[in-house]
Each structure stands twice: as structure tokens, then as C-alpha cells.
């Protein structure tokens, strides 16, 4: 009996590791390339082991461009991303609760409107949106990046929260109502604690999408001192001339670290979630 | 809904109206952030793009009205439009089911309290973090290139080396594999959903002697259905709008075999300076997406189970 | 509804308003005190090396001209043209922009770029040390819309060590298309498995060159139709690649398609081909650095009894926005960028060969190996040049994707015959050109 259990555990962990290797191969490759001398990156591309370790790539990458180092980009990205995560968490939970639990008129048409905005490619709204933000004097500030998050700019998250809230039994609301809770009280004391795993998901995604986003900062930020990491990363390369691939890969690795940390931090809320709160309990 | 539950108490019509007015106020207060954003920043640009779709607009000079010409051209005289439609449909129908199945499978695998599971989740999420970065394009081309690791593995089985990313026959399948491999976001959503299923349900079923498969079908699937529904809708929409993979890795080639709809649209807008036509393309895409999404929503009534709504 | 909710909502709206207001305040402040102070915005694309050098030159200029402040906006190549198009559409184009030959006609044709001739006349922009071949590329309808900031020439890359290893004499200027085919075949035969003579080129760049050798051009003078009448020209041109692919002289597409346009990943880097067709001369630096061994530039094959195909191509330009309020100051900066020796020592011909004679001479003496090769090659190409054709008309970017998708790639993969490709190209290209 015990041996069988051990065998099962072995198979479980073994197969996960084998598949996992395939999962992380690209990151291993990126790390390897970030340590290779420039002319080895593509000459000896399949090899994961550099002939000599070049820490210099990290140094050269970090130094950035002119007197603009990656420290600036990291600070900027951290600021923008933190604001966006806060904004997204606030706005998407409120809006989702409204859609999922309050039976107001025009609820369905408005919900449909929200879903439709997901289907229009950004490329064609970019120009009118730019003109709008330009008129507001927001170009070359972080406002076009941050404000939309506070006003529910990403319907993906609203829809996600709606789905989770709809999964929570209404008896809980009613019980709270009987105890004298207001609607907002139900949202704050009942629903929010029960959606912790979903909130963690929203936080992880909005962090990582914002951190990675290239187009919005590219278009709206002019002053290079305001640039984010994603912009910094692509400033190393120009296919037609001499690209700094080594430093580019080095900074790509550096850029993944905050994302991993955030993931590790939030993923424990994924695990806790309901089991700790106790739906039925 | 408490208000709703109480409605029965108010029989007179005026009371009902009064109540509804109050409910409206609460509802709009909650959705206000989105509504402000929608009215302030979204609807205007959307209408603008609809207007552009009836014009000849080269981005750099002002648009001129040409009626339905863009739409007519698209359907009657643009073979690349049809190619883009074809590629995009293959991509959506190839990648979405696979990606969802894989994401659900891995999420279930990780929905345990075994040791090291946190680490595993991270490992499997890594490809999605790499996302659309410059690095991933280079890595993916390398991995599926002629001298890449994939060919090294395949050669063990005697399969000849091909440059998968640039082969007209395999390029699209390679991109499908890429997005399936980036299954991190639906996986996390599934995980969060699985966590929300009360353990008591499984315990009770186990006591009744239900097999794991039976538990999966009778408990996991229905309880998870709102989340499956969400992932299905979102992945389908995102599939139709897919851009980065093709744009960064294959640039739509070779010979338009990976010409995603959004890539074609982008090319029209920013490389050929034909924003009018690109806008028309965008609205057709919206229509296609809308039809599929509406279809999924329609079927949802029969298979999506909401705890809060008594399983209708 | 509780008070709590009211508060939250209130706070929400207020923060929004406050943030919005404070930002517009700060924006208007900067517009204030500008009596003789000049602020210029300048936008370019490039890689790390170029950014560092360009920033240093800007600092140098600001030191020498304390009344000028230049704010640098730079990115990589990806996304550059969206950023520019978006800014143009929003009426917010920087004063100085780096421009590509491919897009010059589009931007100039839409009245977005300033004519710089008045500033040449007023001596703000000093081009007295620049030969006409280096200026012509930026002129449309007698107006100077762009100043070349690095000259290029069409080239091929050869690995002479591989020629030697195969026991084959290197290519010499004046060699013909036939000679290329033969030598490439011998290279393939003598260099062993999986090594090929040539990384072929059946693209629009090579075809334009081929047309020039026949004294023709891809576009008609007014840019509303194709400039050549006989499809046989395209058929013959494509046949060269088809022959080389068939004989094994050229590497199959599997070998070279992965790299795309990224020269550092070309198969020659791994000694898989000995020749690369159709590159720009300034790319030698990147290819050599990727390969880690010396490579050489060579002229395009010549046509027996044909015309000279080469021309001096502007690698990149600087243009001044028509909307700029400081056009003269912008022109002065471009003048400095072009003529100043110290600035060009910093720039080190990274964008291509400098156009001012004195600067070129100075840099050539001090150039690195790869740099020297580029200088010498551009001089060689100049000897084999005749004047450049006018910039591509509007719609040309669409023609180029058409050529890549429906001519070049299918030829590589053997999916069409040259005849079919030529006919199809004429039909679709004519439609596109007639549209504009």
C-alpha cells in the first residue's frame, strides 16, 4: 500500500519535471544567451552552455542608453504597474459586483456593450484615442497608462470577476442582508473575501500585462526618462544594424524577476482562497 | 439579491417603481467606474473608427467619404482578406480547444496540497510571463528553427530536420503550439475556479463510492462551468484578435500562411497607410467575433451552472 | 446605500479630477518662458550603440549652443513607424525625425515634411561639402525633404576564406550573373554537405537593381503604374534564383528563411553559405560581428552589355516636420550632425558613410576594419553608379509586401513558375498603383 503510494508520487513528480523542462527551456535559453559573448549567441544557438561566462552583458545592459540606466526603467515600470494593479482591482470588483448582483435596468445592454469593446482591435482605436489624450494634455504623462485601469478599462477582468461572483451562493447575501448589511456591506464583507483567488488572478494578470505592454507606453510616452522596461528592452535591437543581443537578453532575464516575485507572492492566495474562508463552513 | 427577494412584499405598483429606482441607483453607482471610462474614452474612438471605415483615410491627411467601397472591395477583390480569414479560423479552432484542455488538465494536476506544487505552478507559468517580448520571438525561432532543439529531439525518432517556423506547411501549426504552450492564464483561472469548489462535495461523493472520473463529470465540470465558460469566451475572442505571435515570429509569412487577421489589419493601417480599409476590416472582425460570442452565450444556458441562480 | 459607499465614490472621482487637473497644469507651465530659448524634439530608431552615440552628439551640440535644448526620443525599429504615424495623425510630430527611404514619399507627399532648400540658401544647413549623389535621394519635385545621414550601397557579402577553401578564385568587380551561378555551384560542390554557395535573393531590391541594369525602373515617372513593359525581365531575373536553387548552388529556403531580415542570424554566420545576396553596405558591421570572422563586400553581378545598376542610397535621413516652429534651428542641428568632425568621430559612421567630404576623409583614416571595408566599398560602388531613381511612390510599401508574398517566397519554395509570378505581379501591382 505504502509502496504503491510512493510509486504514484514518483510518477507524479517525475512527469511534471519532464514536461516542466520543456516549459522552461526558453527561459534557460534566454539565460544562457544572456551570458554568451555576442558572436556566440547565434553561431552556437542550440547550446545552453556559454563557452565563457560574460557577466558584462548584464553590466552593459543595465547601463542602458546615454545616462539613462535600466534602474530608471524599472522604477517607472514598478510605479505604473502598481498603480494599474490597484486601479484594476478596485474598479473591476466594484463593476463586476454591480453587474452580477444588482438587478438595475439596462444591465444586459450595458453588459453587451462591455463585451463588444473587447472585440474591436486596438489598432483602429489607437489614433482617435491618441488625439483625445493629446487634447487633454495627457500625452507624455503616465495618465493614459494608469487612468483607464481605474475606470474599468480592461473588461476582461470585470467579466472574470462577474463569473466568480455569480458562482457564490446568494443565500450568503441574503443572510448578510437579514443581519442588517447594506449592499455595499455585502460587497465588502461577504463577496470580496470569498473571491480572494480570483482577485489574486486579476492582480497577477494585470501586473504582468502592464509590465509587458509595449504599444501603449511606446505611443504615449515621448520623454525617454519616462520609459518602461518593455520599451527599454526593444531599444537594444535594430534588425538592420548592430544589435546588442547579449545585453538585451540580460535585461530580459532581469525583467522577468519582478514578474516571478509577484507571481510567487500572489499565488499563495490562489491556494488559500475558499478553503480558508469556508463557503459552507 | 436582497432587494429582489423583498420585492414580493411590495405589492402596490408605486412601491415597486420606487424600489426599482433605488436599485438602479445602486447598480449604476457600482458600475460607474466602467461607465465613465466607456463614455469618456472608449465609445468616442469606437465611433470614430466606424466612421473611418466608410472613408479613404491615409492617417496623414484627413479622411474622405467613400461609402461602402472598403467593404465591397474586401469581399469582392481582396484575396488576402480571405486568406487572413482562413488562417485565423484554423488558428482559433486549432488552438482554443487544445489550450483549454491542456490548461484544465494541468490545473487539476496542481490543485493538490502536495509538496513542491507552488514551484511547479511557477515553472508552468513561466512561458506565459515571457509572453510577447522580443526575447520570445528569437527563442521560438531558434527552438523551431532548422538547428533547433525540436529537431534534435525529432531526429532521435528519425524524423528529418525541417525549419518548422518558416515552412509553408508547418508554420501555422508551430504558432498554434506556441499559444497552447502559453496556457498560463487560463490555467490560473481554472485553478482559482477549482479552489472555489467546496471540498465537502467531493468528500460526500467519495463516501457514496463515486469514481474519480464520475466525480470529475458530476462535480468538477458543473461547478467549474462558469469559469470554463469565461475561458472559452475570452480565449475565442483573443484567438480572433491574435497578433503578437505572427507579427513577431513569422511576420505573416511565408507566403501569407500565417497571416492572422489582426496582422493583416495592422499592415493595412500602419504599413500601407490605409486606415479606412483597416477600420472596415476591424468592424468585420468585430462582427465575426460577436457572432461566435453570441453563440457561446446562447448555448451557455444549457451547460453553465451558477450556484447563485439555482443551477439554471 | 451607506455613507461608506458615497465616500468611496467621491474619493474615486476626486482623485481622477485632481490627477487630470494637475497634469494639464504642468503641461501649460512648460510653454511659458521662451524668449530666445529653443526647444527641439528629435526622434530616431536604432540599437544601443546608435542611441549612445547620438545622445553624446546631442550633448555636444547643446554645450556649444546653450540656448538650444534637444529632447531625445528614441526607440528600437519595432513600433517606430506606428509611433510616428500616430504622432503625425495627432499633429504632434517631433521637430527632427529620422526617416527611411521607403517612407519618404508617403510623408513628403502628405505635406508633413518641410522643404529644406530655403535653409540651404540661408546657410543654416551647410551642404557645400556634399556631392550631389549624396543629396539627390532626399529630393522630390526639386524640394529637399530629407538630408542623408549615412550613405549606403547595394552589396553582396562574400566569405573569401570559404572561396579559398573550395579552391575557387574570389569574385572580382565586373563579374556576371552567369559567373555567379557557376561559382556558387562549385562552392556548393566543393564545400561538403549542408554548405551552399549562395544565400539567394529574389526580392524587390535585387529586381530593382536588375531593372536598372536594363535602363528601366520599377515605377513609372508619375508613380501610377509599373515602369517596365516586358514581363520577360522579371521572368529572367527570377529564373536566376530558380536555376541556382535547382542546381544546388543556392541554399534551400529552409536554411535561410528563419533569419528573416535579421542579418546576425544569416546562415553565412555559421559558414553555411559563402555568399549573401542583397544587403546594404552598412550591414557588414553587424554580419561580421555575428560571424566573428572577417567577411567582405562585393558589387552586385553585372549584366553583359547592360547599364550600371549601382547607386548611392541614403541609408537614413533626417527630416524636419512641416509643423515645427523651429525649422531653422532644426536645420542647423542637421548641419552640425552632417559637417562637424568631432560629432562624426563620436557617430563613427554607424548609420552609413557620412556625406560630407571632409568628414568622410577624416573617418576613413581612423576607421575600424569593418568600417574601412564599408568606406572602400561605397567608393567602389560609386565608381559603378549612375544617378538614383526617384523615391518610391505612394503605395510602394504595399507593392513591396505583394512582391515578398506572391513573388519572392513562392519562387523560393518552388510554388510558382517565374512566368506565373511575373504575370500575377503585374496584375496586382497595377491595381495598387492605379489606386493612389
pLDDT at B133: 66
Alpha carbons B22 and B31: distance in angstroms, whole number: 15
Task: Check residue C2 and give its pLDDT.
Answer: 44
**DSSP string covering C326-394:** -HHHHHHHHHHHHH-HHHHHHHTTTTSB-SBHHHHHHHHHH--HHHHHHHHHHHHHHHTB-PPPPPPPT
Q: Where are the domains of chain A?
A: 1-53, 69-278
Mutate to test the interface with C, among A63, A243, A246, A247 (most CBs of C within 10 A): A243
- In tens, the pLDDT along C150-169 reads 888 999 999 999 999 888 89
pLDDT of res. B13: 52
Contact A130, B288 (CB under 8 A): no
* pLDDT band at residue A275 under the 50/70/90 scheme: very low
Contact A69/C at CB under 8 A: no
What average pLDDT does range B25-30 have in this prediction? 91
Chain A contact present for C262, CB below 8 A: yes
Rg (CA), chain B: 24
The average pLDDT across C27-33 equals 41
User: Tens digit of pLDDT for each residue in A168-226?
Assistant: 888 888 888 888 888 888 888 888 888 888 898 899 889 988 998 888 899 999 888 99
Q: At B94, phi and psi to the nearest 5? A: -80, -40
Contact between B22 and B3 under an 8 Å Cβ cutoff? The reply is yes
pLDDT value at residue C131: 86
Report pLDDT for B206.
85
Q: Which residues of A touch B240 (CB under 8 A)?
A: 119
Cβ contact, residue pair A114, B237, below 8 Å: no
Tell me whether residues C280 and A240 touch, CB distance under 8 A: yes
Q: Is residue A251 within 8 Å of residue A236, measured between CB atoms?
A: yes
Select from A99, A80, A217, A211 the least CA-distant residue to A158: A99
Nearest to A206 by CA among A163, A153, A251, A256: A153
B170-207 tens-digit pLDDT: 889 989 988 888 888 899 889 888 887 888 888 888 88
Instruction: Please say if the pLDDT value at position A273 is more than 70.
Output: no
A159 touches chain C (CB under 8 A): no
> Which span out of A272-276, C5-9, C240-244 was modeled with the highest average pLDDT?
C240-244
Q: Which chains pack against C, by 3+ Cβ pairs within 8 A?
A: A, B
Residue A161 pLDDT greater than 50, yes or no: yes
C47, C59, C96, C351, best to mutate vs chain A, most A CBs in 10 Å: C47
Most confident of the following: A79-83, A203-207, B6-10: A79-83
Query: Mean pLDDT, to the nearest integer, of C259-273?
Result: 84
Nearest CA in chain B to A163: B226
- B29 vs C contacts (CB less than 8 Å): 1, 5, 9
Task: Using DSSP bridges, classify how beta strands C196-199 and C273-280 pair: parallel, antiparallel or unpaired.
Answer: parallel
- Report percent pLDDT > 90 for chain B: 36
Statement: residue A55 has pLDDT above 70:
yes
Instruction: Report pTM.
Output: 0.87
User: What pLDDT is stored for residue A272 in this prediction?
Assistant: 59
Residue with cell 490548461: B103
Residue with cell 557577466: A55
Mutate to test the interface with C, among A238, A248, A250 (most CBs of C within 10 A): A238
> How confident is the model at residue C397, as a pLDDT?
85
Amino acid A279: pLDDT = 42
DSSP per residue, chain B: -HHHHHHTT--SHHHHHHHHHHHHHHHHHHHHHHHHHIIIIIHHHHHHHHHHTTEE--SSS--EE-TTHHHHHHHHS-HHHHHHHHHHHHHHHHHHHHHHHHHHHHHHHHSS--TTHHHHHHHHHHHHHHTT-HHHHHHHHHHTSTTSHHHHHHHHTTPPP--GGG-TTTHHHHHHHHHHH--HHHHHHHHHHHHTS-HHHHHHHHHTT--HHHHIIIIIHHHHHHHHHHHHHHHHHHHHT--HHIIIIITT-STTTT--HHHHHHIIIIIS--HHHHHHHHHHHHHHHHHHHHHHHHHHHHH---GGGTT-
Please state the CATH superfamily assignment of the domain spanning residues A69-278 in this structure: MetI-like (1.10.3720.10)
CB pairs under 8 A between A and C: 162
- The model's pLDDT over A226-247, given as tens digits with 9 standing for 90+, comes to 999 988 888 887 777 777 888 8
pLDDT grade, residue B244 (50/70/90)? confident
Q: What is the mean pLDDT of chain A?
A: 85
Residues 84-113 of A with CB under 8 A from C: 90
* Cβ distance of A42 and C290 shorter than 8 Å: yes
Of B1-10, B12-21, C207-216, give the lowest mean pLDDT range: B1-10
Helices vs. strands in chain A: H and E counts, helices first: 14, 0
**pLDDT band per the 50, 70, 90 thresholds, residue C318:** very high
C399 to chain B: nearest residue by CA?
Answer: B272
Residue-wise pLDDT for C85-133, tens only, equals: 899 988 889 999 999 888 888 888 888 999 999 999 998 999 988 888 8
| Model pLDDT, residue C20 | 44
Digit-coded pLDDT (tens) for A86-127: 999 999 999 999 999 888 989 999 999 999 998 888 888 888
CB contact under 8 A, B198 and A201: no
pLDDT at C18: 44
Chains touching A (3+ CB pairs < 8 Å)? B, C
Mutation target to probe the B interface, by most B beta carbons within 10 A, among A110, A166, A167, A199 is A167
To the nearest whole Å, the CA of A173 is away from the closest chain B CA by 7
Binary contact (A218, C79; C-beta < 8 A): yes
Could you give the CA distance from residue C28 to residue C22 in angstroms, rounded to a whole number?
10
Q: How far is CA B270 from the centre of its chain?
A: 24
**pLDDT exceeds 50 at position C284:** yes
* A150·B124 Cβ contact <8 A: no
CA distance A62 to A70: 5
pLDDT of residue A170: 84
Domain ranges across chain B:
13-53, 70-301
Domain B70-301 carries which CATH code?
1.10.3720.10
Lowest-confidence region among A267-281, B70-84, C213-227: A267-281
- The pLDDT, as a whole number, for residue B229 is 93
- Confidence at residue B50, expressed as pLDDT on a 0 to 100 scale: 94
Question: Residue C420 has what pLDDT?
Answer: 93
User: What integer pLDDT is reported at residue C26 of this predicted model?
Assistant: 40
Contacts of A131 in chain C (CB under 8 A): 89-90
At residue B7, the pLDDT reads 39
pLDDT at site C204: 92
Of A131, A154, A162, nearest to B37 by C-alpha is A154
Alpha helix segments (H runs only) across C152-261: 160-165, 177-190, 204-213, 232-247, 253-256
Q: Find out whether C218 and C226 touch, Cβ atoms under 8 Å.
A: yes
Mean pLDDT of B142-158: 79
Amino acid at each position: 500500500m505504502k509502496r504503491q503510494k510512493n510509486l504514484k508520487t514518483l510518477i507524479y513528480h517525475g512527469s511534471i519535471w519532464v514536461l516542466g523542462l520543456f516549459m522552461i527551456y526558453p527561459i534557460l535559453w534566454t539565460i544562457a544567451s544572456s551570458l554568451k559573448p555576442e558572436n556566440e549567441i547565434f553561431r552556437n544557438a542550440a547550446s545552453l552552455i556559454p563557452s565563457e561566462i560574460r557577466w558584462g552583458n548584464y553590466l552593459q545592459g543595465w547601463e542602458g542608453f546615454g545616462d539613462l540606466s535600466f534602474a530608471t526603467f524599472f522604477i517607472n515600470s514598478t510605479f505604473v504597474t502598481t498603480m494599474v494593479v490597484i486601479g484594476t482591482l478596485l474598479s473591476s470588483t466594484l463593476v463586476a459586483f454591480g453587474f452580477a448582483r444588482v438587478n438595475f435596468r439596462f444591465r444586459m445592454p450595458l453588459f453587451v456593450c462591455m463585451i463588444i469593446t473587447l472585440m474591436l482591435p486596438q489598432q483602429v482605436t489607437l489614433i482617435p484615442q491618441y488625439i483625445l489624450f493629446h487634447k487633454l494634455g495627457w500625452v507624455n504623462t503616465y495618465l493614459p497608462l494608469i487612468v483607464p485601469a481605474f475606470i474599468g478599462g480592461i473588461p476582461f477582468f470585470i467579466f472574470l470577476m462577474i463569473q466568480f461572483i455569480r458562482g457564490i451562493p446568494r443565500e450568503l447575501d441574503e443572510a448578510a442582508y437579514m443581519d442588517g448589511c447594506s449592499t455595499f456591506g455585502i460587497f465588502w464583507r461577504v463577496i470580496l473575501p470569498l473571491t480572494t483567488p480570483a482577485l489574486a488572478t486579476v492582480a497577477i494578470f494585470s501586473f504582468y500585462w502592464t509590465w509587458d505592454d509595449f504599444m501603449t507606453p511606446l505611443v504615449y510616452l515621448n520623454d525617454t526618462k519616462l520609459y518602461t522596461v518593455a520599451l527599454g528592452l526593444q531599444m537594444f535591437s535594430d534588425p538592420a544594424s548592430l544589435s546588442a543581443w547579449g545585453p538585451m537578453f540580460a535585461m530580459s532575464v532581469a525583467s522577468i524577476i519582478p514578474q516571478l516575485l509577484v507571481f510567487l507572492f500572489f499565488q499563495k492566495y490562489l491556494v488559500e482562497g475558499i478553503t480558508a474562508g469556508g463557503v459552507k463552513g | 439579491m436582497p432587494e429582489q427577494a423583498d420585492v414580493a412584499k411590495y405589492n402596490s405598483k408605486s412601491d415597486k417603481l420606487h424600489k426599482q429606482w433605488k436599485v438602479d441607483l445602486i447598480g449604476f453607482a457600482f458600475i460607474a467606474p466602467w461607465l465613465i471610462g466607456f463614455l469618456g474614452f472608449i465609445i468616442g474612438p469606437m465611433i470614430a473608427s466606424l466612421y473611418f471605415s466608410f472613408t479613404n483615410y491615409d492617417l496623414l491627411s484627413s479622411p474622405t467619404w467613400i461609402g461602402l467601397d472598403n467593404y465591397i472591395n474586401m469581399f469582392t477583390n481582396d484575396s488576402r482578406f480571405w486568406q487572413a480569414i482562413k488562417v485565423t479560423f484554423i488558428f482559433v479552432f486549432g488552438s482554443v480547444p487544445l489550450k483549454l484542455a491542456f490548461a484544465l488538465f494541468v490545473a487539476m494536476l496542481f490543485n493538490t496540497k502536495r509538496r513542491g506544487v507552488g514551484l511547479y505552478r511557477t515553472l508552468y507559468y513561466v512561458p506565459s510571463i515571457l509572453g510577447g517580448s522580443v526575447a520570445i520571438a528569437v527563442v521560438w525561432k531558434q527552438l523551431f528553427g532548422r538547428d533547433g532543439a525540436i529537431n534534435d529531439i525529432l531526429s532521435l525518432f528519425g524524423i528529418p530536420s525541417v525549419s518548422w517556423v518558416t515552412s509553408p506547411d508547418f508554420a501555422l501549426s508551430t504558432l498554434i503550439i506556441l499559444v497552447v504552450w502559453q496556457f498560463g492564464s487560463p490555467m490560473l483561472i481554472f485553478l482559482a475556479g477549482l479552489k472555489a469548489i467546496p471540498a465537502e462535495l467531493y468528500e460526500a461523493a467519495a463516501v457514496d463510492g463515486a469514481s474519480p472520473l464520475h466525480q470529475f463529470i458530476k462535480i468538477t465540470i458543473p461547478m467549474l462551468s462558469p469559469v470554463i465558460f469565461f475561458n472559452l469566451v475570452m480565449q475565442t475572442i483573443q484567438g480572433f484578435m491574435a497578433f503578437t505571435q505572427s507579427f513577431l515570429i513569422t511576420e505573416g509569412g511565408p507566403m501569407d500562411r500565417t497571416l492572422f487577421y489582426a496582422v493583416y489589419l495592422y499592415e493595412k493601417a500602419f504599413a500601407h497607410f490605409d486606415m479606412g480599409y483597416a477600420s472596415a476590416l476591424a468592424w468585420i472582425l468585430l462582427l465575426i467575433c460577436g457572432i461566435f460570442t453570441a453563440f457561446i452565450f446562447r448555448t451557455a444556458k444549457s451547460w453553465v451552472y451558477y450556484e447563485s441562480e439555482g443551477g439554471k | 446605500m451607506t455613507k461608506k459607499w458615497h465616500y468611496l465614490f467621491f474619493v474615486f472621482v476626486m482623485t481622477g479630477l485632481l490627477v487630470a487637473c494637475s497634469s494639464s497644469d504642468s503641461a501649460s507651465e512648460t510653454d511659458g518662458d521662451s524668449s530666445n530659448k529653443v526647444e527641439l524634439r528629435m526622434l530616431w530608431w536604432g540599437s544601443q550603440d546608435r542611441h549612445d552615440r547620438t545622445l553624446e552628439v546631442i550633448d555636444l551640440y547643446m554645450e556649444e549652443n546653450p540656448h538650444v535644448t534637444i529632447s531625445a526620443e528614441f526607440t528600437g525599429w519595432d513600433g517606430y513607424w506606428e509611433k510616428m504615424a500616430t504622432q503625425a495623425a495627432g499633429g504632434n510630430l517631433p521637430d527632427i525625425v529620422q526617416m527611411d527611404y521607403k517612407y519618404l514619399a508617403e510623408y513628403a507627399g502628405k505635406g508633413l515634411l518641410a522643404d529644406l532648400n530655403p535653409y540651404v540658401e540661408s546657410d543654416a544647413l551647410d551642404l557645400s561639402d556634399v556631392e550631389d549623389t549624396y543629396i539627390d535621394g532626399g529630393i522630390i519635385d526639386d524640394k529637399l525633404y530629407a538630408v542623408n545621414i549615412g550613405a549606403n550601397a547595394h552589396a553582396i557579402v562574400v566569405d573569401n576564406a570559404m572561396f579559398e577553401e573550395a579552391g575557387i578564385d574570389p569574385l572580382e568587380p565586373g563579374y556576371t550573373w552567369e559567373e555567379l551561378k557557376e561559382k556558387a555551384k562549385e562552392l556548393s560542390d566543393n564545400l561538403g554537405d549542408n554548405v551552399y554557395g549562395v544565400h539567394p535573393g529574389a526580392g524587390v531590391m535585387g529586381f530593382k537593381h536588375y531593372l536598372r541594369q536594363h535602363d528601366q525602373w520599377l515605377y513609372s515617372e508619375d508613380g501610377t503604374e509599373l515602369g517596365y513593359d516586358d514581363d520577360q525581365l522579371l521572368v529572367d531575373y527570377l529564373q536566376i534564383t530558380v536555376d541556382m536553387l535547382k542546381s544546388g548552388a543556392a541554399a534551400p529556403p529552409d536554411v535561410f528563411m528563419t533569419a528573416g531580415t535579421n542579418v546576425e542570424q544569416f546562415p553565412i554566420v555559421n559558414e553555411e553559405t559563402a555568399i549573401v545576396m542583397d544587403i546594404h553596405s552598412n550591414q557588414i558591421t553587424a554580419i561580421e560581428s555575428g560571424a566573428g570572422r572577417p567577411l567582405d563586400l562585393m558589387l552586385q553581378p553585372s549584366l553583359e552589355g547592360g547599364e550600371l545598376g549601382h547607386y548611392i542610397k541614403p541609408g537614413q535621413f533626417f527630416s524636419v516636420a512641416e509643423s515645427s516652429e523651429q525649422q531653422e534651428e532644426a536645420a542647423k542641428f542637421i548641419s552640425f550632425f552632417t559637417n562637424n568632425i568631432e560629432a562624426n568621430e563620436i557617430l563613427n559612421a554607424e548609420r552609413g558613410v557620412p556625406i560630407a567630404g571632409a568628414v568622410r576623409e577624416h573617418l576613413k583614416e581612423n576607421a575600424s576594419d569593418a568600417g574601412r571595408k564599408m568606406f572602400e566599398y561605397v567608393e567602389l560602388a560609386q565608381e559603378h553608379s549612375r544617378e538614383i531613381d526617384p523615391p518610391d511612390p505612394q503605395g510602394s510599401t504595399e507593392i513591396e509586401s505583394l512582391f515578398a508574398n506572391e513573388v519572392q517566397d513562392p519562387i523560393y519554395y518552388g510554388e510558382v513558375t517565374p512566368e506565373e509570378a511575373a504575370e500575377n505581379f503585374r496584375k496586382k501591382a497595377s491595381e495598387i498603383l492605379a489606386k493612389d
